[in-house]
Each structure stands twice: as structure tokens, then as C-alpha cells.
């Protein structure tokens, strides 16, 4: 029985379960929200293949010196404000989670944001971290409540219609977490079983597209999914393998199984009203791929020898 976790751990996870994974299927401001709990009754919509979601806007020449952002640019607006506002989660272990000792949100995604702040100000600490829900990532970028979203977020064509994405900074793929006693070897072995994912994530959408017909169950965040799993309310959790590794590290009675059944290229999202900011972010990413910053960030948070970073692709 999985409900072995202590009440203290359950309570802690419940507090942390506010935000986090792959691409966002959330409505924009003014559009109705979908219910979080039930699985969709209708077949999942086909994947939008109208673009190359990995291709972003090409950097426009050399980076300006920190503290000297071009007049009239969105970077100058951020510089005048005195901080970059980063939207992310607080429960995605290794990528963006709250350190229980310092209280700070930290991880690979957070460092991606800090590197943009460093390029604008010369100081990576000139950043305000705003915790946002999975289903608010697109709308937060659109309405300007954050400058940048770095939140294990999949770049896809549907999202490109609403926001700009940076070039891809991490490659992930969706797998499934099950009980260590389970015989399941992939998502296809979970037909008719309840599989949890975060509301507003492409992970939730992808579960509904599996031929074996597992039952998608939505929760506000993956911390909530882990609690539901440990309390036997769901049979499995499915999301990006990077996130599942962090969840499995918190439960000795869980394991990650199966091959990846999706591709999840992560990009940072921002308003499409400021294309110069997208080009600036991509220039920072290009510099950091070349000078070893991406490699050292990977090894700091994810461990082991870093692979080659994703090769940037551009649409112009």
C-alpha cells in the first residue's frame, strides 16, 4: 500500500503543489477555464503541426553591455524597473523548487532566468521569482504579469500562436511513474487506470491521446499528483521524465517506467509584443551554450556529465 508517507510529508507536498511542467494548454485571459478534475469526454484534439516549434527568432547581433540596454526596448523597461520578473513553479525538484532550508526557489529553470537577469543588469540576483500555476503560464506571459516564464514548458505550435518561445534549452519526453510493485512497463499498460497530471499541462492532454485509454486525472500541480498517488487515489503519474525523476526521489515505493512517448522541447515563454526581447534572450542562450555556462548549469542541478545542449533553430 502506497499510503506509507508520513502526514508531515503529505502536508509539505500539499503546500508546494502550486505550479510547474511541460507545455501549457491553459486558456488566455477572458476565455473560460476547463474543469480540473474530470477527464475530457471528447477525443483529444490533433496536434498542431503548423510550425516548427523549435525555431525561434534569431539574435540581432552582439549583446549590449549589462546596464546599457537599448532605448525603447523591453530590456530597457526591465532595467528601469530594477528587476526581471520570472514566472516559474515551486514544486519541480531540480528545475524550480523551494529549498526547505533557505526558503528560496531554485533549480535549472531558475538559473536560466538568472542568466537573463545577469545579461540585463550584470547581477543575476536582480530577479523577482513569481510562482505561477501550470494553467497560468501562457496567460501570465501574455498579460505582462511576468517578463519571462521558465518552467519546464514545452514549446509547441498551439502556444506559439499566443506567446514567443526562446530557442530550445532542454530536451525532455513524457514517461510514467507507477508503484514499484506494478507490472506496468509503459503508459500503454495502463488502459482504464487513473493517471494524474497537472491541470493546464500538455502532459494531461497527452494522456488522453494514448491508444490504451488511460483515464486522465488533473490536479493543480505535480506535488498534488504525488500525494494522490501515495493515497491510492490514482494509479500513476505521467509527465516529463525530468519531473518524474524528482517525484520518484521523494517516494521509495515508486519507479519511472517505459520509453518516452512524446518529445517535450523546453523553451522560455514571453510576450510576442516584444520580439526584441525574444532575440535578446536567444542571444544570451547562444552565448551560454558556447562559453560553457549551459554545461555547468546542467551539471550543477542535474548531475553527471552534461550532454551537448540543444542546437538552436531560427525561423528568420
Show the domains of the chain with their CATH numbers.
65-171+265-305 (3.40.190.10)
pLDDT for res 14 = 36
Q: In what order do the strands lie in the sheet with 174-179?
A: 215-219, 194-198, 236-240, 174-179, 254-257
d(CA 14, CA 299): 29
pLDDT for res 184 = 97
pLDDT for res 134 = 84
Q: Go through 198-234 and write b for each residue having 16 or more CB atoms within 10 A of its CB, e for each that does not.
A: bbbbbbbbbbbebeeebbbbbbbbbbbbbbbbbeebb
pLDDT for res 78 = 98
d(CA 28, CA 21): 18
d(CA 45, CA 118): 40
Q: In what order do the strands lie in the sheet with 148-149?
A: 127-131, 84-88, 148-149, 269-271, 163-165
Q: Go through 301-314 and write b for each residue having 16 or more CB atoms within 10 A of its CB, e for each that does not.
A: bbeeeeeebbebee
pLDDT for res 45 = 59
Residue 173's closest CA among 260, 74, 300? 260
d(CA 81, CA 96): 24
Mark the ranges of the chain whose per-residue pLDDT is less than 50.
2-26, 32-42
CA 282 to chain centre: 18
pLDDT for res 155 = 96
CA triplet 98, 167, 201: central angle to 5 degrees?
Answer: 50
Maximum separation of any 2 CA atoms in the chain, in Å:
61
Q: Cell triple for residue 51? A: 510550425
Helix 241-248 / helix 222-230 crossing angle, nearest 10 deg: 50
Amino acid at each position: 500500500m502506497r499510503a506509507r508517507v508520513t502526514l508531515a510529508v503529505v502536508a509539505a507536498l500539499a503546500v508546494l503543489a502550486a505550479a510547474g511542467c511541460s507545455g501549457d494548454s491553459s486558456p488566455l485571459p477572458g476565455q473560460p477555464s476547463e474543469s480540473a478534475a474530470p477527464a475530457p469526454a471528447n477525443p483529444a484534439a490533433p496536434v498542431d503541426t503548423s510550425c516548427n516549434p523549435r525555431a525561434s527568432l534569431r539574435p540581432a547581433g552582439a549583446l549590449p553591455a549589462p546596464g546599457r540596454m537599448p532605448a525603447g526596448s523591453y530590456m530597457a523597461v526591465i532595467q528601469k524597473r530594477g528587476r526581471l520578473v520570472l514566472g516559474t513553479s515551486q514544486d519541480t525538484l531540480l528545475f524550480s523548487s523551494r529549498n526547505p532550508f533557505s526558503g528560496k526557489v531554485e533549480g535549472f529553470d531558475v538559473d536560466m532566468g538568472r542568466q537573463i537577469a545577469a545579461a540585463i543588469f550584470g547581477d543575476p540576483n536582480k530577479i523577482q521569482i513569481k510562482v505561477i500555476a501550470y494553467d497560468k503560464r501562457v496567460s501570465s506571459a501574455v498579460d505582462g504579469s511576468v517578463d519571462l516564464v521558465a518552467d519546464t514548458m514545452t514549446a509547441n505550435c498551439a502556444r506559439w500562436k499566443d506567446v514567443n518561445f526562446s530557442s530550445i534549452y532542454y530536451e525532455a519526453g513524457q514517461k510514467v511513474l507507477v508503484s514499484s510493485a506494478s507490472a506496468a512497463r509503459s503508459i500503454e499498460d495502463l488502459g482504464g487506470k487513473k493517471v494524474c497530471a497537472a491541470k493546464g499541462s500538455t502532459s494531461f492532454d497527452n494522456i488522453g491521446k494514448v491508444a490504451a485509454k488511460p483515464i486522465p486525472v488533473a490536479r493543480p500541480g505535480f506535488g498534488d499528483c504525488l500525494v494522490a498517488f501515495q493515497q491510492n487515489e490514482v494509479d500513476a503519474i505521467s509527465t516529463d521524465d525530468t519531473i518524474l525523476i524528482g517525484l520518484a526521489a521523494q517516494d521509495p515505493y515508486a519507479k519511472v517506467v517505459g520509453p518516452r512517448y512524446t518529445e517535450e522541447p523546453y523553451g522560455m515563454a514571453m510576450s510576442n509584443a516584444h520580439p526584441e526581447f525574444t532575440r535578446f534572450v536567444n542571444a544570451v542562450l547562444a552565448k551560454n551554450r558556447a562559453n560553457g555556462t549551459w554545461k555547468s548549469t546542467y551539471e550543477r542541478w542535474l548531475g553527471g556529465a552534461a550532454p551537448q545542449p540543444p542546437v538552436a533553430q531560427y525561423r528568420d
